[in-house]
Structure 1
Amino acid sequence: MSDGNDLISFIASMSGEGNLRVEENLGDGFVRLRVSEAERRQAKHDIQHVEDIVVEMLRNARDAGARNIYLATSKEEGVRTLLFLDDGSGVPEDMRDRIFDARVTSKLESMRMDKWGVHGRGMALFSIRQNTQTAEVVTSAQGGGSSFRVVVDTASLGERADQSTWPTASKDDDGILSCVKGPHNINRAVCEFACEELHGCDVYLGTPTEIAATLYAHAASRVDTTRLLFLDSEQSLPVVDRLTCAADAGDFIRIASDMGIEISERTAHRILGGSIAPLKSIASRLLREKEPAIGEPAQIDLTRDRRGLKISKEDIASFSRTMERDFTDLASRYFLTLSREPKVRVTKDRITVTFDIDKEDT
């Protein structure tokens, strides 16, 4: 690492520090970027609410290559606890505290722009620690994911009063899913992220108990049981798969605690006994999809109305022409012209007609 820093110093001396993005090479792909004092001070103000923390941590997991992100959240006496577990690239042991320093990042060449702005400046985790009671890496494995815990005093950093309501989501005419209604609480922050990353990663949100049950069920379906026979410790498994090593309730409690999840013995027995069902991913919940059952055949609801609305192409075309004729009177009064014939869209319980218009010059 010293050779890397010597090279950085040499380049800075030859070209001027202002042209150099990297201040220090920290090893394992991590660097400290050069960021102005103004940017450093602004970073603290990037976090205005608890929901901002949720978005930044989800983006952080995504950029670490996570395909599955689990968020366990709870609140007691005004203190919000957020636990993020993922199957991303993990954090080297000697970097677990330094990643919360300003300007430290592993994304020197991969800053990403998404709906929330630029990510990868090395300021998100710094901002979170500046605004919370605790922000820490609970456990991690290089190449095997991480568990981050963030504890927030909501008297100092607020959150939406309504944390129970789920948002309503729908697809637009182009089939893009988005949240259209509901308070901007933690649920909505997670749902908006899930919509943005619909085909990138799955997100699961629930209580610590629900997340523990989901992790256990997912790990049981992923990990080959014969592999467990030759493991010296669950630490050699990815973080999100470690609960599958639990031989009994005592093991389950210990492993869960090491991951940042605190549960009772009774809860551990219920999870091991299959009494607590795993969560659906947020995307499946928004799309109202049924995920494959783990270990059990799917239940069939014979009372559900599965009839759909189907209209022949000929009738749709005829209906479109009728709509076009009826549009003529409105168009003449408001100087409108159709740019193409009305578009008729038929779904299970809805018919939508779209008129694409051009305004005439008057």
Structure 2
Amino acid sequence: MSDDAERLIEFVSSVSGDAYLKVEETLGDGFVRLKVSEAERRQAKHDIRSVEDVVVELLRNARDAHAQRIFVATTREGDERRMTVIDDGVGIPEHLHEAVFEPRVTSKLETMVVDRWGVHGRGMALFSVRSNARTARIACSAPHKGCAISVTADLTHLLERADQSSWPDVEPDEAGNLHVVRGPHNIARRVTEFSCEHPEVEVYLGSVVEIVATLASVARSVLEPSDLLFCDDPSAVPIWQRPAVCADAEELAEVCCDIGLEISERSAHRILAGEIDPLPCVLDAVAPRPRTPAQARPDIYRDRRSLKIAAHDLAAFAAELEEAFDVLAERYYLRLKGDPKVKVLGDEIRVRFLIEKDE
């Protein structure tokens, strides 16, 4: 919006009041037709009624960006809830970092998603989040590098469940699909419900420090050793992998701040020292799945031919063993009960002596 347009709106508002700017048409008898912008603002306020609703919208946003991994870092300080959601989806170009928070801005031109939480794809999710939160911003994102969205909520205006420490109970149905059956409707439950709906997506939930440790651990499991040793520029790798390629605690703290995860240098030292355990994904935390032991890969270079020794060579070998045994027999008053038994089993030669002790 230009400066002239803003000054005009301010002038009209000062003369006629804000109500004028909300109305497209007066219909009489107290009825009006709202402007699209005002209707959208009111709808956005209705869409988000709690912090838990914000979490759901951010998860759906990551899902629709084709994310396979989503990391939710959240912490509360007084009347403030801070959240950063990092995904490995398609990412957002820098010139659209502000535009995505405007109404009707979406990447889903031809499609929309209808799930258990309603319609998604109207271009209203991030607009609704920002309309109800104290702050909402793209902390970091780029095409093909994923996205990090940070949100701060004022809990005196946007409420959350009192119990945020309890995890829900999950049970499988007849088909083996997991469902939440009980538990407070807190952040953990919403994240678990999303995970049950989308078991193909790995979702992690924890504190900022726990999520940083988890990002580093998960990334190291997929990165090549050369990526870890010779990455001079963490911004060259996807956002969710950046904590894994940091050379020291100072760099780790700086990189995490850039992606919306503020940690102290002391916490960074603890993470690099392995003092912070990485988190399991949410489904493994609430309903650990039995793991099938990995099958050992066949060694195609192994020589599977059995050892073959001619009968006359075995007989000659047994005779030499009998002579060698005579040394022990003389010293320890032993004698053989029959000939030494020599067997060839696969890649082994087994020798057996049956003995008697002299009285």
Q: Same fold (TM over 0.5)?
A: yes
Amino acid at match of 2:180: C
Amino acid at match of 2:195: A
Q: Distance in 2 between matches of 1:36 and 1:277?
A: 47
Amino acid at match of 1:251: E
Query: What's the secondary structure of 1:163's corresponding residue?
Result: coil
Query: What's the secondary structure of 2:181's corresponding residue?
Result: strand
- What CA deviation, in whole Å up to 9, does each residue of 1:232-291 have, x standing for no partner? 511110000011221111111111111111212222111111111110000111222378
- Which structure has the larger Rg over C-alpha atoms? 2
8 Å contact from structure 1 (residues 202, 282) kept in 2: yes
Q: Is the alpha carbon distance of 1:188 and 1:145 closer, same or farther for their aligned partners in structure 2, counting shifts above 3 Å?
A: same
Query: What's the secondary structure of 1:184's corresponding residue?
Result: coil
8 Å contact from structure 1 (residues 280, 291) kept in 2: no
8 Å contact from structure 1 (residues 107, 120) kept in 2: yes
Q: Distance in 1 between matches of 2:268 and 2:40?
A: 46
User: Does residue 104 of the first structure (1) align with residue 110 of the second (2)?
Assistant: no
Amino acid at match of 1:149: S
Q: Distance in 2 between matches of 1:189 and 1:206?
A: 13
Q: Distance in 2 between matches of 1:226 and 1:42?
A: 50
Which residue number corresponds to residue 64 of structure 2? 63
Which residue number corresponds to residue 284 of structure 2? 284
Q: Distance in 2 between matches of 1:250 and 1:230?
A: 17
Gaps of 5+ in 1: 1-34, 293-362
Percent of aligned pairs with the same residue?
50
CA positional deviation for 1:220: 1.4
Gaps of 5+ in 2: 1-35, 293-359
The 5-angstrom pairing of residues 1-362 of structure 1 reads 38-199=39-200, 201-228=201-228, 231-289=231-289
Q: Distance in 1 between matches of 2:49 and 2:153?
A: 12
8 Å contact from structure 2 (residues 79, 156) kept in 1: yes
Q: Distance in 2 between matches of 1:64 and 1:111?
A: 12
Q: Distance in 1 between matches of 2:175 and 2:218?
A: 33
Q: Is the alpha carbon distance of 1:139 and 1:36 closer, same or farther for their aligned partners in structure 2, counting shifts above 3 Å?
A: closer
Question: Structure 1 stretches (4+) deviating beyond 6 angstroms?
Answer: none
Q: Is the alpha carbon distance of 1:96 and 1:290 closer, same or farther for their aligned partners in structure 2, counting shifts above 3 Å?
A: farther
Which residue number corresponds to residue 32 of structure 1? none
Q: Distance in 1 between matches of 2:82 and 2:53?
A: 14
Amino acid at match of 1:273: A
Q: Is the alpha carbon distance of 1:105 and 1:235 closer, same or farther for their aligned partners in structure 2, counting shifts above 3 Å?
A: same
Amino acid at match of 1:50: V
8 Å contact from structure 1 (residues 211, 279) kept in 2: yes
